[in-house]
Structure 1
Amino acid sequence: MDDDDRTCCGHCGKPKQTHVHEFLGSTKLAELEEDPHNHRFAGISGEAIPMGNSHVHDIITRTDFYEDHLHAICVRSCPAICVGNGKHVHFVAGMTTVDEDHAHEFVFATLIENPIGD
Structure 2
Amino acid sequence: MRYIFKDGKYRQVLPEDPYEVKGHNHEVLGTVQVANVKGCPHTHRFATVSGEAVREGTDHRHEVRYITDTYEGHHHEFCGMTETSVKTCDRHVHFLKGTTSENAGHKHGFQASTLIEDPIGK
Higher CA-based Rg: 1
Larger strand fraction of residues:
2
Rounded to whole Å, the distance in 2 between the matches of 1:98 and 1:64 is: 14
Q: Which residue of 2 aligns with 1:114?
A: 118
* C-alpha distance in 2 between matches for 1:76 and 1:34: 32
Superposed displacement of residue 32, structure 1: 5.6
Picking from 62, 72, 81, the partner of 1:76 is: 81
Question: How far 1:34 moved relative to its partner?
Answer: 1.7
> Which aligned runs of 4 or more in structure 1 are off by greater than 6 angstroms?
none
What is the TM-score of this pair, normalised by structure 1?
Answer: 0.83
Aligned runs of 1:39-118 on 2, under 5 Å?
A: 39-84=44-89, 86-118=90-122
36, 39, 42: which is aligned to 1:34? Answer: 39
Give 3-state SS (helix, strand or coil) of 1:78's partner: coil
Normalising by structure 2, report the TM-score: 0.81
The unaligned stretches of length 5 or more in structure 1 are 8-16
1: distance between equivalents of 2:56 and 2:95?
A: 15
Q: What is the RMSD of the two structures over their aligned residues, measured on CA atoms? A: 1.9
Distance 1:79 1:55 in 2: 5
CA-to-partner distance for each residue in 1:56-93, whole Å, 9 max, x for gaps? 00001100000110000111000000011x20000000
Q: Which residue of 2 aligns with 1:12?
A: none
In the alignment, residue 117 of structure 1 is paired with which amino acid?
Answer: G
